[in-house]
């Protein structure tokens, strides 16, 4: 079964959706899944070096106090999925193009799930700057993707491909992520394991 996920690597709801999907898939041990990652950018105009977390919260929400209720809800949902977010550790809100490139590259090695998981955990749990190439090189090397292979993959052509995927999402009318294409059905938001399971079952019955 084909599953395509539109997501951004600084999207906490995407991390929750990623986790719940992995748990839902485990309920179908006899089904072969082909899972693809399609990049989405919540902040397409973000400078390449990113901006400070404080500046981001001020620009996006009017300050940390205004962002807190949304983030508290997200942390609660993350906890239900078995993840403890450490948002106070985050010092930089990054540009996510390089992290998307690493995930796309990792698909060639069938490592996209592990790489995506590590990128999410690096940002939301460890508070690392996942726009920093050295952080991403370390993630790549930990998963047996060499620094050279990753650096060679970061080129103008591949960056254009990432941007074209983002344009594709907009053309499909996708304004928020995560967004799942499961078989022939679409499902938006950080859905529960049971909801994702139900959609998978529904599509399996049509095969």
Contact 55, 43 (CB under 8 A): no
Give pLDDT tens digits for 125-156: 999 999 999 999 999 999 999 999 999 999 99
pTM above 0.85, yes or no: yes
Give pLDDT tens digits for 10-53: 999 999 999 999 999 999 999 999 999 999 999 988 999 999 99
Q: CA angle, 153 as apex, 22 and 135 as ends, to 5°?
A: 65
Q: In the predicted model, what is the mean pLDDT of the chain?
A: 94
Contact 143, 118 (CB under 8 A): yes
**Given pLDDT bands bounded at 50, 70 and 90, which one contains residue 207?**
low
């Amino acid at each position: 079964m084909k599953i395509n996920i539109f997501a951004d690597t600084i999207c906490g709801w995407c991390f929750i959706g990623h986790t719940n999907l992995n748990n839902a898939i485990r309920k179908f041990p006899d089904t072969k899944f082909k899972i693809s990652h399609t990049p989405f950018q919540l902040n397409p105009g973000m400078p390449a070096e990113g901006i400070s977390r404080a500046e981001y919260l001020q620009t996006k929400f009017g300050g940390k106090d205004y962002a807190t209720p949304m983030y508290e809800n997200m942390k609660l949902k993350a906890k239900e999925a078995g993840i403890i977010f450490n948002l106070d550790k985050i010092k930089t809100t990054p540009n996510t193009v390089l992290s998307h490139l690493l995930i796309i590259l990792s698909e060639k090695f069938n490592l996209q799930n592990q790489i995506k998981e590590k990128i999410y955990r690096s940002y939301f749990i460890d508070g690392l700057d996942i726009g920093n190439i050295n952080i991403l090189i370390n993630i790549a090397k930990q998963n047996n993707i060499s620094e050279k292979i990753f650096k060679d993959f970061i080129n103008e052509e591949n960056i254009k491909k990432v941007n074209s995927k983002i344009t594709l999402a907009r053309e499909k009318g996708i304004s928020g992520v995560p967004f799942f294409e499961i078989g022939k059905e679409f499902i938006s938001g950080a859905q529960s394991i049971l909801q994702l399971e139900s959609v998978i079952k529904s599509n399996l019955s049509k095969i």
